[in-house]
């Protein structure tokens, strides 16, 4: 397998990349000129501290303007890209030559912030054969305050060129194309390079501990292979935690959590830490319902991972039957997230497409599109009625809706096909609808809430007595 193929991931993979700043201890790198590197180099080193703008040049498409300026940086000075677009098309590029060899695995880091409309942002490498490798992020919203960004080798895909091997680079480019007329500024600082060990599967056995553990239970029960064993916390305090120590920095892509049927978390946070002392919340769940939780954590990396349990289902502590840490691929794209969920579910719960079987369902969307969709036109074995109208947006934002996905309601439909758990389904559909609204994505909320209504109609579930589900839901069809 050529390295080029191994790297050529779908552009959708880029969608989530900037959403999660890595939990990653960056050593204080010294400002030194960038010599040619070799694979044996270790540690993060600065490629450009932007104390001067030496070497940076610009390129713009017709109708676009770019000026680069020195300004206050994250440390010392930084580079500011001031741009203006007369129309909704075009691009601006800032580039600099960095002739350097690249080891088998690596990452680039930089600090950035912006005062700019949302738009497409690209980080591009030109290799020694003039092939261009990029991380393209659609509709990127630059943070107002400085934030670290990391671009790992596997985030890069071949934009154009022969792309035989990414073993040496000549040029680094930052490109912006907002897609709307207007002005903006983006700041960059501390562009650095980190040689990394080759990507390897995690093979250690994590250590697990908990705030409290009830009689007859152990924290290890949450990660052992026995489905019958359960970690149960103490029953007095609402604030409890469960902590995994991976024993080394580890990359992962998400979690699957199976809760105790009776004692589950309604509110909890997933936190990550490099040192066990400074924690970053990487996911927050509100209104958990005790069903299996799928949590996408794109590009997560940390040594420690903690569930901070804040509110329990019946004030008698928390029980976790199984906590499974998922690999990077779990959430590398919205599509793989769905597929992973479908694979973990019994056959028939999800559209067969997601379980690798041929059906009328498919994931649609162009490479690089900010939004994809799972679309089904009905077919054998599909729930009556519902599938024919179900179009589910599957953007990166949606995968973050409490670890749920819009088709959760559909899955539960299948699960409850015998109609003896109607209330459960109704709750699930309402939750999905509420989450979509809370997610601040009206177009999505509309689709899901329509779907909720559609599911209810299919099941013959009567409207709630208070009428709330009807009054705020768009009309179906």
Cβ atoms of residues 477 and 453 within 8 Å: no
- Structure token digits, residue 228: 């019958």
Residue nearest to Ca ion according to CB distances in the complex: 73
* Contact pattern for Ca ion over residues 243 through 282, marking x by CB under 5 A: ----------------------------------------
Of 50 and 338, nearer to Ca ion (C-beta) is 50
Instruction: Determine if 293 is a binding residue for Ca ion (CB under 5 A).
Output: no
Could you say which DSSP state residue 344 is in?
A: H
The CB-of-182 to Ca ion minimum distance in angstroms stands at: 27
Instruction: Determine if 26 is a binding residue for Ca ion (CB under 5 A).
Output: no
Of 31 and 247, nearer to Ca ion (C-beta) is 31
Could you say which DSSP state residue 258 is in?
A: E
The per-residue DSSP string of 307-334 comes to: EEEEEESSSS--EEEEEEEEPGGGGSSH
Of 76 and 276, nearer to Ca ion (C-beta) is 76
- Structure token digits, residue 370: 């900010």
The CB-of-147 to Ca ion minimum distance in angstroms stands at: 15
Instruction: Determine if 56 is a binding residue for Ca ion (CB under 5 A).
Output: no
- Structure token digits, residue 390: 């179900």
Instruction: Determine if 187 is a binding residue for Ca ion (CB under 5 A).
Output: no
How many residues make up the chain in this entry? 477
Of 79 and 100, nearer to Ca ion (C-beta) is 79
**CA–CA separation, 275 vs 256, rounded Å?**
24
The CB-of-46 to Ca ion minimum distance in angstroms stands at: 9
The three-state secondary structure class of 377 is coil
Of 38 and 52, nearer to Ca ion (C-beta) is 52
Instruction: Determine if 50 is a binding residue for Ca ion (CB under 5 A).
Output: yes
**Binding residue count for Ca ion, defined by CB under 5 A:** 6
> Does an H or E element contain 409, and which?
helix 408-415
The CB-of-31 to Ca ion minimum distance in angstroms stands at: 8
Among 65-73, 112-120, 287-295, 356-364, which window interacts with Ca ion (CB under 5 A)?
65-73
Question: Count of H helices and E strands in the chain?
Answer: 8, 22
Interface with Ca ion (CB under 5 A), residue from 15, 45, 46, 49? 49
Could you say which DSSP state residue 50 is in?
A: -
Contacts (Cβ under 8 Å, ≥6 apart) of 99: 36, 168, 169, 170
| C-alpha separations of 23 from 57, 150, 255 in Å | 32, 10, 16
Instruction: Determine if 75 is a binding residue for Ca ion (CB under 5 A).
Output: yes
**CA–CA separation, 235 vs 198, rounded Å?**
44
Of 185 and 458, nearer to Ca ion (C-beta) is 185
Instruction: Determine if 73 is a binding residue for Ca ion (CB under 5 A).
Output: yes
Instruction: Determine if 32 is a binding residue for Ca ion (CB under 5 A).
Output: no
Instruction: Determine if 48 is a binding residue for Ca ion (CB under 5 A).
Output: no
- Structure token digits, residue 393: 């947006």
Would you tell me which residues interact with Ca ion (CB under 5 A)?
49-50, 73, 75-76, 189
């Amino acid at each position: 397998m050529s390295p080029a193929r191994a790297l050529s991931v779908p552009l959708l993979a880029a969608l989530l990349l900037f959403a999660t700043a890595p939990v990653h201890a960056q050593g204080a790198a010294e400002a030194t000129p960038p010599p040619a590197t070799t694979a044996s180099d270790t540690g993060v080193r600065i490629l450009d501290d932007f104390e001067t703008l030496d070497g940076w040049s610009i390129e713009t498409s017709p109708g676009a303007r770019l000026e680069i300026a020195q300004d206050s940086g994250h440390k010392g000075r930084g580079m500011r890209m001031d741009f203006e677009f007369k129309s909704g098309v075009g691009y601006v590029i800032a580039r600099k030559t960095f002739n350097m060899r690249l080891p088998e695995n690596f990452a680039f880091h930089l600090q950035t912030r912006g005062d700019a409309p949302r738009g497409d942002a690209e980080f591009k490498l030109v290799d020694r054969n003039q092939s261009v490798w990029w991380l393209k992020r659609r509709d990127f919203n630059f943070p107002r305050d400085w934030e670290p960004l990391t671009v790992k080798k596997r985030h890069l895909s071949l934009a154009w060129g022969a792309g035989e091997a990414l073993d040496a680079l000549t040029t680094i480019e930052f490109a912006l194309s907002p897609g709307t007329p207007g002005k903006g500024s983006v700041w960059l600082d501390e562009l650095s390079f980190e040689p990394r060990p080759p990507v390897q599967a995690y093979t250690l056995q994590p250590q697990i501990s908990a705030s409290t553990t009830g009689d007859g239970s152990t924290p290890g029960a949450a990660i052992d292979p026995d489905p019958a064993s359960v970690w149960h916390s103490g029953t007095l305090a609402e604030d409890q935690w469960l902590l995994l120590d991976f024993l080394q920095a580890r990359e992962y892509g998400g979690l699957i959590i199976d809760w105790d049927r009776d004692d589950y978390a309604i509110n909890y946070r997933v936190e990550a830490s490099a040192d066990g002392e400074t924690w970053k919340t990487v996911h927050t769940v509100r209104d958990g319902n005790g069903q299996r939780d799928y949590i996408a954590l794109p590009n997560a990396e940390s040594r420690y991972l903690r569930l901070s349990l804040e509110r329990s289902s019946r004030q008698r502590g928390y029980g976790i039957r199984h906590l499974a840490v998922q690999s990077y691929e779990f959430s590398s794209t919205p599509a793989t997230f769905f597929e992973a969920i479908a694979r973990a579910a019994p056959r028939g719960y999800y559209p067969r497409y997601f379980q690798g079987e041929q059906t009328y369902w498919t994931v649609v969307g162009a490479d690089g599109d900010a939004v994809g969709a799972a679309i089904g036109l009905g077919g054998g074995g599909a729930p009556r009625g519902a599938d024919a109208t179900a179009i589910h947006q599957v953007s990166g934002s949606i995968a973050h809706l409490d670890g749920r996905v819009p088709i959760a309601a559909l899955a539960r439909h299948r699960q409850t096909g015998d109609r003896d758990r109607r209330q459960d389904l109704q709750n699930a559909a309402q939750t999905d609808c509420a989450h979509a609204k809370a997610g601040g994505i009206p177009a999505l909320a509309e689709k899901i809430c329509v779907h909720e209504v559609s599911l209810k109609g299919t099941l013959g579930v009567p409207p709630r007595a208070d009428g709330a589900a009807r009054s705020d839901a768009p009309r179906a069809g």
